[in-house]
Amino acid sequence: MSLSVGDRAPEFSLPDQDKQVVSLAELRGTPALVVFYPFAFSGICTGELCQLRDELATYTDAGVRVVAISTDPVFSLKAFKDQQGLPFPLLSDFWPHGATAQAYGVFNDKAGMALRGTFLVDAEGVVRFAEVNQPGDARQQTGWKDAVAALS
């Protein structure tokens, strides 16, 4: 069961592409867009994260920090970030495998990957937007933008 609007966002501490730990607790005080995606380098995921990169000002101008999470190891995330020029942290939910995705209700047990879950967490840690798309179902980012605008 995925999180819903009004739920408290589960805490996480995950290594980024540079093996630096990023936690939801350290993001507290500012809203965060938490974007789960299945795999680095896959077609739909690359398109979604590149769109997020290209439209990042929509979020940062509103004071929203962006983090993207997959079950890929940090080495894959580093290569993916460098190749695509992604300016936000890519967090590895590799071990324990998918534990954070499970906590957010977006882990696909059979495939061992995160679903396309998107959560806007406010400065106090409460989910203000939640959307889950299945593998192969690309996200429309207009909903995220509307939720960010509603925070202001």
What kind and span of H or E run contains 65? strand 65-70
* Cα–Cα distance measured from residue 72 to residue 1, given in angstroms and rounded to the nearest whole number: 22
pLDDT tens digits, 39-95: 999 999 999 999 999 999 999 999 999 999 999 999 999 999 999 999 999 999 999
CA dist 92 and 31 (Å) reads 20
pTM for this one?
0.96
What is the per-residue pLDDT across 103-150, written as a single tens digit (0 to 9) for each? 999 999 999 999 999 999 999 999 999 999 988 888 889 998 999 999
Backbone φ and ψ of 118, nearest 5°: -130, 125
Which pLDDT does position 1 carry in this prediction? 73
* Residue 36 vs residues 12, 70, 152: alpha-carbon distances, Å: 13, 6, 24
Domains annotated for the chain, with CATH where assigned, are: 13-151 (3.40.30.10)
Average predicted confidence (pLDDT) for the chain: 95
Burial 26-38, CB ≥16 within 10 A → b, else e: ebeeebbbbbbbb
- CA gap 11, 18 in Å, rounded: 20
Which positions are catalytic? 45
